Structure 1
């Protein structure tokens, strides 16, 4: 365990952080073993509850189960900022790992815990109480300088662009790493939920409304369709088994990372914990006496996060995929949620359902003292340069 003493003279205080508690000297530690990781459990979700960009993907259950099922060769490198009594005040959930099936597979990457690979999180961040980022985050970011000798690069995937930690993370990477900045910016679409389904439906065209209504009538009248939740008419275990089959139907030419063995074990264990707690939801549709559609997602701070879905392809004419989204949106409205987040990727169906957008960033930086890092960035520059040269040559030839 590595530690660094941080005095109060290192703090940067914003006006909104003026009421933050006075802590005195803080200590920055790096937790590297499982015993140290497990010792953080009592404090982890307490701090998550206070975050500005809280999500299910930074909660203890997600992170700890991911570590147990999906870590492969990863090593813990969790930054913890503690007060004089040893109580964690902020956490940087990090790991050292190689990205499998990636051009970076030969690099040792410093990344968010569960930041890539199977069952990776979709909205990840440093765990810092809201309003205290200007005070605590720069000190917590000292972990990047401490860990620089052990990594070839930093890759922080799926950081919410609106995170108050973002400017501090970028500043820390730019201070110690080369080529530091935003690598990718990916859209995530969401629905601003109204007070009723009728109000939501009115936002759409009459063609959209009529098509969905016809599908719903056919589902009910012609197929004896019913809507419920996992654990009501079907057990959670039975629902999960059939859901896996339905989800696989959408991947006829490949294998979804959701159904690989490690990922599936992870989600079976997570669903067993979170479905009874209502942290996870699985609205389902049954027709002709069998499961024909299901949607699996998570609830956090008046928001629902749609994670995966599956539906019976043989019933494509009545659009069970659309009907299960309709049922889920209605459930979210009935329970008073504010946002239905469809998470990243910009499919057409998400544009049709959603009226809001927010962005996720992948941040990166490279260790200037690592020969593997320098070789990688040099080759990447050449690969990016060659297509432009080829295009320019083709244009000159055409002229």
Structure 2
């Protein structure tokens, strides 16, 4: 296996690049050859995680690197045995955020943690039950990479992850201002054995409304429900999704449909639809598709990522109907969780019955003048009066959060 060790800026750091803990060695991957050499081991380790997600899979991170990395640099840390086999991975990179205020900072972050098609549940890849032993060793990477970065920003870290306390503790030890910057709710459904059982969790008014929409769809318009790969192939299903999703953004561009993000998702769907890792429920009526939902299956969980529906049919609420069909499909497959991903829109509250949290963790290099300048300017901005600013680009950065416009559901 190709092994490329980190190249710190100073000699003192170089002396501590390789740290031995028993039979494991902390090593770094800094080039693409060494990164791709991890492929045979990557998903096998993800399978063993306590908080595994589709966003940690090799297909996601490798495609993201190919399509979305821009000026990012690899900085993965891993624990190898004497034969070079990785036992745990900290999937890290050095990159600049798109936010103009943060753009000058060179940030140590999760691989696929920034930019278009970024991951939504990111973490260190450590086998469940071994976090107390292995995660602190991986966290030594923060200190070793500190001379190369201005700050650390780890977005979408699951609060319930066994790795989280060790990561935060390490950042507090080696950086300044370490802590949780944002805490985002992820609402989800604990899936029952049948749709009828799920319906009973809701009010009679909610049940009546959804049944009325469904009668309009099936009886008045002979509507039918299907899945991508059944009556419509992958390419056509993705095309319908893009068209219907664009209807939600008549005056702007969703980051889901930019050229870069769209290439990523087309390539991902090409791999995952045949493997049934991607699920695309679709609704067809009067000879055309009126709603498509796009999400991912991992273990016994489904993650609703994106959707689109026909705006002119808002009175029939195709957005609600396609979620109903998606939940029913997940129940039929024996899945246990339907995750609506971050944000707290009203429609998510209506569908979900439980919640978990994602953390954005931040820390600053106390020796970086750019880091000091950023913190000073941020403090000043917080003291100044605020005003509302319209984004002239019209671009939505949190694409899946707004895919189903709650006001039109």
Structure 2: stretches of 5+ with no match in the other structure: 7-15, 387-409
Structure 2 equivalent of residue 6 of structure 1? 19
Deviation at 1:298, TM superposition (A): 0.3
SS in 2 for 1:228: strand
Deviation at 1:87, TM superposition (A): 0.6
SS in 2 for 1:111: strand
SS in 2 for 1:245: helix
Corresponding pairs, count: 373
Structure 1: stretches of 5+ with no match in the other structure: 9-23, 389-399
SS in 2 for 1:210: helix
Deviation at 1:387, TM superposition (A): 4.5
Structure 2 equivalent of residue 101 of structure 1? 99
In the alignment, structure 1 residue 371 sits paired with structure 2 residue 372: no
Q: Kindly provide the CA deviation profile for residues 327-357 of structure 1, in whole angstroms up to 9, marking residues without a partner as x.
A: 0101111111000000001111000000000
SS in 1 for 2:165: helix
Structure 1 equivalent of residue 39 of structure 2? 41
Deviation at 1:100, TM superposition (A): 1.2
Q: Is the 1:5–1:26 contact (alpha carbons within 8 Å) kept by the matching residues of 2?
A: no
Q: In structure 2, which of residues 306, 312, 317 is the aligned counterpart of residue 319 of structure 1?
A: 317
Deviation at 1:385, TM superposition (A): 3.1
Structure 2 equivalent of residue 211 of structure 1? 209
SS in 2 for 1:250: coil
SS in 1 for 2:247: helix
Structure 2 equivalent of residue 163 of structure 1? 161
Deviation at 1:382, TM superposition (A): 1.8
Q: Matched residues in 1 for 2:381 and 2:128: separation?
A: 41
SS in 2 for 1:333: helix
Q: Matched residues in 1 for 2:382 and 2:232: separation?
A: 52
Structure 1 equivalent of residue 292 of structure 2? 294
SS in 1 for 2:308: strand
Structure 1 equivalent of residue 191 of structure 2? 193
Structure 1 equivalent of residue 58 of structure 2? 60
Q: Is the 1:6–1:25 contact (alpha carbons within 8 Å) kept by the matching residues of 2?
A: no
Q: Matched residues in 2 for 1:69 and 1:166: separation?
A: 29
Q: Is the 1:56–1:62 contact (alpha carbons within 8 Å) kept by the matching residues of 2?
A: yes
Runs of 4+ in 1 over 6 A off after TM superposition: none
Q: Matched residues in 2 for 1:103 and 1:297: separation?
A: 32
Q: Matched residues in 2 for 1:123 and 1:145: separation?
A: 24
Q: Matched residues in 2 for 1:123 and 1:131: separation?
A: 19
Q: Matched residues in 2 for 1:28 and 1:115: separation?
A: 22
